[in-house]
Amino acid sequence: MTNLVEVRNLKIEATTDAGRIVEIIKGVSLDIADGEIVALIGESGSGKTTVALSLMGHARPGCRITGGEINVNGKNMAALSEKERAKLRGTDIAYVPQSAAASFNPSS
């Protein structure tokens, strides 16, 4: 099976309100095969949304992708322009946020 998404050693930093730089995502790697469905599950604030948005070339306010490689359908997201990444969104890759009312709580 061919991988649609390949992430290697993803690193993301954030700048705090005090101006301090903190590495918030350290060394995430994953493969998603064509046709595979993947869910990121974790505690609130664990970085699920930050990682998911980075797959589409987005960084949350105050954050930046500082390391690693993200390939979507064989294309290196860091090497693409914003216009080229926008063409992939909704066709090659999409983000479906959870509904807070329908959230999964593994501890209850």
Confidence class of residue 33 from pLDDT cuts 50, 70 and 90? very high
For all residues of the chain together, what is the average pLDDT?
A: 88
Domains, the chain, ordered by start: 3-94 (3.40.50.300)
Torsion-angle region of 19 (φ positive above 0: left; ψ -120 to 50: alpha; else: beta): left
pLDDT of residue 101 exceeding 70 = no
Sign of CA dihedral 42, 46, 50, 55: negative
At residue 67, the pLDDT reads 96
The values of phi and psi at residue 83, to 5°, are: -65, -40
At residue 104, the pLDDT reads 61
pLDDT tens-digit profile of 66-89? 999 999 999 999 899 999 998 988
At residue 27, the pLDDT reads 96
